[in-house]
Each structure stands twice: as C-alpha cells, then as structure tokens.
Copies of this chain bind each other. A is one copy, B any other.
Amino acid sequence: MPTTRKIDYIKKMKEGLQMLGAIEAGGTKFVCAIATEDGTIIEKVQIPTEIPDTTIPKVLEFFQDQRISALGIGSFGPLDVHPDSETYGFITSTPKPGWINFPFVKTMKEKLQVPVAFDTDVNAAVWGEFHAGAGKNLNSCLYITVGTGIGAGAVAERKLIHGWSHPEMGHISLRRHSDDHFPGVCPYHRDCLEGLAAGPAIEKRWGQKGDALPVDHPAWEMEAHYLAQALMQYVLILSPEKIIMGGGVMKQRHLFPLIRSKVEQLAGNFLTLPAMDTFIVPPALKDDSGAMGAILMAQQINSGN
C-alpha cells in the first residue's frame, strides 16, 4: 500500500468514516478494493484466481485488516442471483476448476460479518459506469467485456436487468463471417459470440494472441463483424442509450472505429442511433468499472436500499 494512501486512510478511519469493500472476481484475478463511504477507492489489490482454498484466504486476509461495514461482489459466473433461492450467492456451473457451487456470499458473510451485495462481474461494471462513468446522467446503458470470455450487463429504466436469472449475453448466436471456417471455442455452444470472438478464439484462429496481430490483419475486420452484429442484437432488444466496451481485446483501440462503422451499416435507414463516437465508447473508469460498481452495490446494501 503506498505510504501516502495509508496515512490518508488512517486519517479517514480516525475521522470515524465508514469503509466499504468491493471484490471484482474475474477469471484470472480478484480485484479487492476499499473505499470511503462516498465511493472513493483508497486501496486496491490484485489476487490471482486459483482454487478457492488458495484465493479466498488471501481475499479474507486483505479485508480482515480493514473495518468495512458492507461488501459488494461482482463475480464471474454463472451465478445464483435469485434472493429466494437456497443456493443464492453461489457460483453455479462454471467450468473453472474448484469453483462449482462455491458459496461466495455465505463464506464472506460468515468470515467478515457484514452485509454482502452480489451480482455478475459485468452487472457490477455496468453499474459502476452508469453511476460514475460513461453512463452518468443516462437512464440506460450496456457494458460489454471482450476478453478471456465475453459478457455484458445492462441498465434499463435506471435498474440493472435481472429476471429468471442474470443475462448471458456473451452466448448469443450470430451469422458467420463468410471467410470464417474456425469451429469456435465455447465449451457449450462452440460458435456463439464468445466462441468466435473472445480472446482465446482470436488466438486459436490466427495462431497468435490478438496483441501480436498488426492493425491491418484481417482478424480485426472479422472481430468487428462479430462484435457489431452482437451490439445490433442488443440494440434491437434493449435500445440502450450508450454501449461501453471494455476487456482485454478492446484495448486494441483501432477496433472502435471498425465496430462503429459496421454498426452504422447494420442500422441502415431502419434505426436512427446516437452519433457513433458517443454511442460506442470505452469505459470512462478504465479498469475500475467493476470495482466501482461493487463499491456502489456495497453502499446501497449498507444504506438499506
């Protein structure tokens, strides 16, 4: 922890402010954060995602040092997010070894003795961007992450969308690019969006990681083809005011103009959309969207909302 931050933090503790905790549990790392009651993140650590027996004690150790009054968790899934369910707060059928049926909320509640808010990683991210990032002052927006996997969360009418369960937007089916004969890598669907366009699909199709491929490589036109098609399905079904694209693959900033131009083409004269460069944007909170969303979730559960 940087010394100045530590001093600042101790000062705030002494002032009697309540602290909030956040976990952004991703496929490769857990980001754990502490924020002041007003949502300012004052400390953040990364812990690798291994098996629960290795990762969770490190996470608990981090929070046990602090005096948090509530915890927000945005986690990789699928999750049981249904409050009335017996397995509420569990990671359910993930292919990630060791995490199937992990009782995430129960474990944290028991060990930390604080109220815990729980949702998907992408719901946390869209919630963060909606309140404090690129979606500020809107009534709706969508956040999609394109990385090791693909997932998205949406806010409509100022609320995070849930229903029977949480959305699984990364697994929609798409029309194939005419030059693409790659079978796809999704263990469930083979060639759904995630199977065709997540980081591992790019790497396996082209024989090298995305960040090693030059800007004019045909990989990017194909990637934009799939992502634009997916965005158009989301637009037709949800009509979000803004689409925020994050995750490792979207660090390739040259993808943005490619995707925007393809979405515009797909909209044609059927849909009038907002100006593309304000409609499809990177996250304003950079890599903090998920942690910020989890902090806001903790804030809400703390204030009883």
Known A139-B163, A163-B156, A241-B163: A270·B236 in contact at CB below 8 Å: no
**Complex-state Cα separation, A170 to B194, whole angstroms:** 23
Nearest B residue to A152 via CB reads B237
Indicate whether A169 reaches chain B with its CB closer than 8 angstroms: yes
- Give, as a whole number of angstroms, the nearest-CB distance from A276 to chain B: 13
Partner of A239 from the list B167, B235, B272 (CB cut-off 8 Å) is B167
Residues 245-274 of A, flagged 1 when their CB comes within 8 A of B and 0 if not, give 000000000000000000000001111111
- Which residues of chain B are near A168, meaning CB under 8 Å? 236, 239, 270-271
- Which residues of chain B are near A188, meaning CB under 8 Å? 268-270
**Complex-state Cα separation, A163 to B171, whole angstroms:** 23
- Which residues of chain B are near A157, meaning CB under 8 Å? 156-157, 159-162
**Complex-state Cα separation, A30 to B6, whole angstroms:** 68
- Which residues of chain B are near A154, meaning CB under 8 Å? 237
Nearest B residue to A187 via CB reads B270
- Which residues of chain B are near A159, meaning CB under 8 Å? 156-157, 159
Most B Cβ at <10 Å: residue of A159, A273, A274:
A159
Nearest B residue to A139 via CB reads B163
Q: Are B269 and A239 in contact (CB under 8 A)?
A: no
Indicate whether A96 reaches chain B with its CB closer than 8 angstroms: no
Known A163-B139, A188-B269, A188-B270: A236·B172 in contact at CB below 8 Å: yes
Q: Are B274 and A237 in contact (CB under 8 A)?
A: no
Binds B, one of A105-113, A201-209, A226-234: A226-234
Q: Are A175 and B173 in contact (CB under 8 A)?
A: yes
Q: Are B167 and A140 in contact (CB under 8 A)?
A: no
- Beyond known contacts A161-B238, A165-B239: 9 more, CB 8 A cutoff: A139-B163, A156-B159, A156-B163, A167-B239, A169-B236, A169-B237, A172-B233, A172-B236, A237-B237
Q: List 26 A-B contacts (CB under 8 A).
A: A93-B269, A139-B162, A140-B164, A154-B237, A156-B159, A157-B157, A157-B161, A161-B238, A163-B238, A163-B239, A164-B273, A164-B274, A165-B239, A166-B239, A167-B239, A169-B237, A172-B233, A172-B236, A172-B237, A173-B174, A173-B229, A174-B175, A188-B269, A188-B270, A233-B233, A233-B237
